[in-house]
Homo-oligomer: A and B are copies of this chain.
Amino acid sequence: MVNEQGYNVALVGATGAVGHKMLETLERKKFPIKQLTLLSSSRSAGKKINFKGEEYTVQEATPESFEGIQIALFSAGGSVSKSLAHEAVARGAVVIDNTSAFRMDENVPLVVPEVNEEDIAKHNGIIANPNCSTIQMVAALKPIQAKFGMSRVIVSTYQAVSGAGNLAIDELKDQSQAFLNGEDMEANLLPVSGDKKHYPIAFNALPQIDVFQENGYTYEEMKMINETKKIMHAPGLPVAATCVRLPFFTSHAESVYVEVADENVTVKDIQSALVNADGIILEDDPSTQTYPTPLSASGKSEVFVGRVRKDLDNAKGFHLWVVSDNLLKGAAWNSVQIAESLIKNNWL
């Protein structure tokens, strides 16, 4: 039952790129907050943040921070979630975790509300928010799978630097200006802050997001592959991914190839499944050069789909171009949607 007075909400990682968008989203969506607690690592503790006209001081997150908290949004990196999420649950909070810490844990639902909202009901205190590049893809795939079946997915991504945090945004700005000034570009962060080598991202493309796994795929690619199967309840669905970081600030784009079960499906069928789907906006008209781009999708909550084409050789194959704001639907908005669902369905 909805609590008219609102809920005690904690946000861990309040000072990060996603944390900032979480606060904006909570305010814009009028999320019913009784008391807001802003938490972070010790490094960022003490910072002041404004929310609905009131100033909050960010506190260092400790187990005790979660006393009395009903909903805890975590977005401060996997290690923080691993050390504190169970502490929050032990104190009665439901955790919505935006890191990869628990996503593949079979006791933790991994949820995109438009795709598998019912999984939230099975939570044991923690609900995981998927990887940004996964969320927008499954949001677009689900209405197609539901109507026409799905036997294969191959995706190549075009990902914004904000997925790597505020420092990556600064690095792209600094390198771009240096290049335009004819100066050398300094690369200290991307593709992966903790990895051995760094390459310029400005006016470049880096085919590495997150660290390499033993099988030659990056962790980002394996997240897309494994999370897609889990969210879509399709453990046997073949999914392949190549993930590439590009020099733009916000919104990921994806070139997605899918095979459906029936060779009589048309482009119009796919388009009408997408038009009628929750959270999807079809922007697809070649005659007017209408298609989504990272710039056009930024700041919006929906997942945008364009360039729907039937494969010229395989009657079951279709190509899509899927774009969404990686900080909103890819992170903050999806987390807040899960929180709204917890309340609306009395699953808290």
Contact = CB atoms under 8 A, between A and B. Distances in A.
Contacts of A287: 212
A249 interface: yes
Contact of A240 (B199, B244, B257): B257
A63 to B, nearest CB: 37
Interface residues of A, number: 58
Contacts of A53: none
Contact of A204 (B238, B286, B295, B309): B295
A313 B287 CA distance: 37
Given A156-B255, A238-B313, A291 B208 contact: yes
A324 B172 CA distance: 23
A319 B177 CA distance: 34
Given A205-B248, A291-B207, A267 B319 contact: no
Contact of A225 (B206, B248, B286, B312): B312
Total identical chains: 2
A140 to B, nearest CB: 14
A94 to B, nearest CB: 34
A255 B247 contact: no
A241 B238 CA distance: 20
Nearest to A290: B197
A267 B294 CA distance: 34
A246 B295 contact: no
Contact of A248 (B158, B197, B203, B312): B203
A251 to B, nearest CB: 9
A195 interface: yes
Interface string A249-292: 10001010100000000010000000000000000001111010
Interface in A302-330: 306-314, 317, 319, 321
Contact of A255 (B239, B244, B286): B244
Contacts of A203: 247-249, 294-295
Interface in A164-184: 173, 176-177, 180
A196 interface: yes
With most chain B CB atoms within 10 A of its CB, the pick from A199, A238, A307 is A307
A310 B244 CA distance: 18
B253 A205 contact: yes
B196 A288 contact: yes
Contact of A293 (B173, B207, B253, B295): B207
Contacts of A312: 215, 217, 225, 238, 240
Nearest to A319: B242
A45 interface: no
Given A180-B180, A255-B156, A307-B242, A208 B289 contact: yes
Contacts of A319: 240, 242
Contacts of A215: 309, 312
Given A203-B247, A205-B246, A240-B311, 5 more contacts: A195-B289, A203-B295, A242-B307, A244-B253, A247-B247
